Amino acid sequence: MSAFWRLGRGSPFPQAGVHPWGGVLRVVVAGMVGLLVTGLLLDLLLPYLPGAPEVPDFDQVRAAHRSSDLWLLDRESRPLQPIRVDHASRRLTWSPLEEIAPNLVEILIEVEDRSFHRHRGVSWPSLIGALKDRFLHGSRRGASTLTMQLAGLLTRESGGWSGRRTLAQKWRQMRSAWAMERSWSKAQILEAYLNLVPFRGELQGISAASRSLFDKHPSGLIPSESILLVAQLPAPNGPVSRTAARACAVAGRLAPELSCAALTGQAERLLRGALPPLRREVAMAPHAARWLLKQHRSASRDTSERRSTLDAELQQIARESLDRQLAQLAGHNVRDGAVLVADNASGAVLAYVGGGSVDPSARHVDGVQALRQAGSTLKPFLYQLAIEERLITAASLLEDSPVELVLPTGIYQPRNYDHGFKGWVSARTALASSLNVPAVRVLLLTGLSRFAARLKQFGYSQVREEGAFYGYALALGSVEVSLWQQVNAFATLANGGTFIPLILDADQESPPPRRITSPESAFILSDILSDPLARTPTFGLGNPLATPFWSAVKTGTSKRMRDNWCIGFTPRLTVGVWVGNFDGQPMREVSGISGAAEVWLEVMQAARLRFGSGHAEPELPSDSGLIRRSIHFEPALEPPRQEWFLAGTGSDAIRLNEGELRPSRIRSPGDGSILAMDPDIPGGLQRLVPRMSPEHAENQWRLDGAPWPAIPEGWELVPGTHQWELVDGEGRLLDRVRFQVRGTEPKQVQEGPAFQEAQPLAVAPGTQE
């Protein structure tokens, strides 16, 4: 009777005494038996010998795990937005073992380490079997236990082993596995392994793999999905066909009811080509998350979550309101917008919408931080400065009429939004109705440098130059600002002139507040901006600015209709809205009322319901010198009313004595103008007609010291430096301007009575409302 040895999957060999290789086989078998006995002894003794490698504590490994996404949370720790912070691999938060599907754990152990619950870190039978297969069949199969694999993962995490494995590295891996088994439980080993093991592509850990491939939490995996995941482990980025073959082999042994064809098709569909991005359950504040990430990097804070000051409900309302308005304005060439809401007392940002989610022109541009032209939204700070310095009061009369100001680049001619003029109006009406010419006249009183310095105090950091750099257009918002700066500045008015920096990080300590203006002047400005009657000349009575509760609000539209703003506040909250196009394209037929104001009103109402209104109206500054008086105008340019004054500036009657209040001035040419003659135009056709404002028939002109009759044809240009003077009926000098005429001798007049009125070299157009 013959006996045979059967080794591995090879052919039967005859009994050792008969087969010519029998002696060799006996030596091999004896060596394997000896190796097994030696391994068992090592398994028992080596972990207790000195010099064992140090392994990290399980709690340390778990605490050190970082998601590749930084999660932005709201003020109540509700998730708002994930943002990628680590591009080396894709990880999500740590998944506890009890939140991983049990079928996955069972399949993993059965396929990767069947003796997991019995060995002490190294499976000697598996190791000997692997050596036998390599010796007899030349096959290479793994013999590493899950504990040994975890030891290798932890070493790679710490920057240890890399490249091709050596016997020395394998020996250290075995010793680390022995040491780990002494201090870790089996459950901890499984949990750490499943959270650190790499899957296909950049995916690391069961949570990222489950979310990316199957769009589900690891607890919801079904057997077919678990088999596909385990089949990736030997070679995560190997050929898809090999992964599918492994999945079929595992299913044939552990789940024969599963179809191999179905598994192969699923593997091809999921793993072929680029993996889909991680599904995100929440995506409400991408721009806020990126802004906070900058703070996160600068502060080097090591966390996968960041609690913000945002409120999830208000954030959602602001997003939806902006999207609805942008959809309605799509026909007016408006694609982008932004919303920012802040708590006045703390500076906490409650809603931060950096852009619309429907067809934006630049999805990643942050409309809250982007710089855009301010338009008329800077006027309140100009009037506040003039009132604080007692240059004007809210009742002071300002003339809204054509004006020309000479700049180095030419003549600046500010115009109102509607291209009309209102004549004499009070400062209250001029500001609330957003009239441009009166604002420029106020800037002439305060001075450019003083106003530029005040804007810097209010947080407009882009105002870096002296006032002369910006010119008189600074009164109309020619400088670029951000919505963040706008809301912070208007919240300062709401706080009675105290600047409290805005914060988005709930754990950030806010810098100490600082006083910018007097509370009295801030109170008067807030009262003007809350007056619905004062804004009727421009906006009428029925508009979104006329809220059923106390609110102070200002709109603004930049030059050529590129930007539209609405910024306003209650005693508790400040809301700012911008709409326009990030690429600078002009809007069509959109004003402050029809553009940003609709969103402003809806968000403000929602914010008041969510956080309360605080005081119904601003509180009168304690121990202030504010005086409220009944006033009337002579003549009755505006109806009688109650008006607020700083102490010492009040008056019961506001009288207009046009001759005393504002004598005539030369309107054109401007002082310092340079007029250019065209040599191809006959000299008799190039003339200049001087103009005064206001017009008075008794006033007289002098040219170069000699009386000049005010002839309709004007004065024929003569090259050189000249001087116009304007005197009243008694010969008193009212105004004087000097100008130059440059050019060569022109041709003689050939025919025709018509003349060409000379123009300055350049004309700066006025800024919009």
What is the residue-wise DSSP string for 576-623?
Answer: EEEEE-TT-PPPSS--TTTTHHHHHHHHHHHHHHHH---SSSPPPPTT
Q: pLDDT at position 584, please? A: 86
Diameter over CA atoms, the chain: 149
Asked whether the predicted pLDDT for residue 435 surpasses 70, the reply is yes
Asked whether the predicted pLDDT for residue 677 surpasses 60, the reply is yes
Examine residue 56 and say whether the peptide bond preceding it is cis (omega within 30 degrees of 0). no
Select the more confidently predicted residue: 510 or 709: 709
Tokens at residue 275, please? 């993996």
Share of the chain above pLDDT 70, in %: 79
Q: For the residues 211-238, what does the mean pLDDT come to?
A: 92
Alpha helices, H only, 436-553: 436-446, 448-457, 467-470, 483-494, 519-529, 536-539
Asked whether the predicted pLDDT for residue 41 surpasses 80, the reply is no
Q: pLDDT at position 358, please? A: 74
Backbone angles phi, psi at 329, to 5 degrees: -95, 5
Q: pLDDT at position 166, please? A: 60
Q: What is the pLDDT of residues 560-604, one digit of tens each?
A: 888 999 999 999 999 999 999 998 899 988 876 788 999 999 999
Which has the minimum average pLDDT: 251-265, 332-346, 434-448, 651-665? Answer: 651-665
Q: pLDDT at position 128, please? A: 60
- Measured CA to CA, the distance from residue 348 to residue 342 in angstroms comes to 6
Strand-pairing partners, residue 722, are 739
Q: pLDDT at position 260, please? A: 93
Q: pLDDT at position 34, please? A: 58
Question: Quick one: residue 657, left, alpha or beta (phi over 0 = left, psi -120 to 50 = alpha)?
Answer: beta
pLDDT band at 130 (very low <50, low <70, confident <90, very high): low
Q: pLDDT at position 761, please? A: 38
Q: How far is CA 120 from CA 61, 179, 428, 569, 621, in A?
A: 20, 9, 85, 68, 76
Q: pLDDT at position 113, please? A: 87
Backbone angles phi, psi at 719, to 5 degrees: -55, 140
Instruction: Select from 292, 283, 290, 277 the least CA-distant residue to 365.
Output: 290
Q: pLDDT at position 337, please? A: 94
Q: For the residues 114-123, what does the mean pLDDT come to?
A: 83
Asked whether the predicted pLDDT for residue 614 surpasses 80, the reply is no
pTM of the model: 0.72
Q: Are 536 and 433 in contact (CB under 8 A)?
A: yes
CA torsion 141-146-151-152 (nearest 10°) is: 30
Select the more confidently predicted residue: 665 or 324: 324
With 0-12 CB in 10 A as exposed, 13-18 as middle and 19+ as buried, what is 181?
A: buried
- Measured CA to CA, the distance from residue 328 to residue 405 in angstroms comes to 40
Asked whether the predicted pLDDT for residue 170 surpasses 90, the reply is no
Asked whether the predicted pLDDT for residue 526 surpasses 90, the reply is yes
Q: For the residues 279-295, what does the mean pLDDT come to?
A: 77
Q: For the residues 377-393, what does the mean pLDDT come to?
A: 96
Q: For the residues 299-326, what does the mean pLDDT come to?
A: 85
pLDDT band at 698 (very low <50, low <70, confident <90, very high): confident
pLDDT band at 618 (very low <50, low <70, confident <90, very high): confident
- Measured CA to CA, the distance from residue 312 to residue 292 in angstroms comes to 16
Q: Find the helix or strand (DSSP H, E) in which 150 lies.
A: helix 146-157
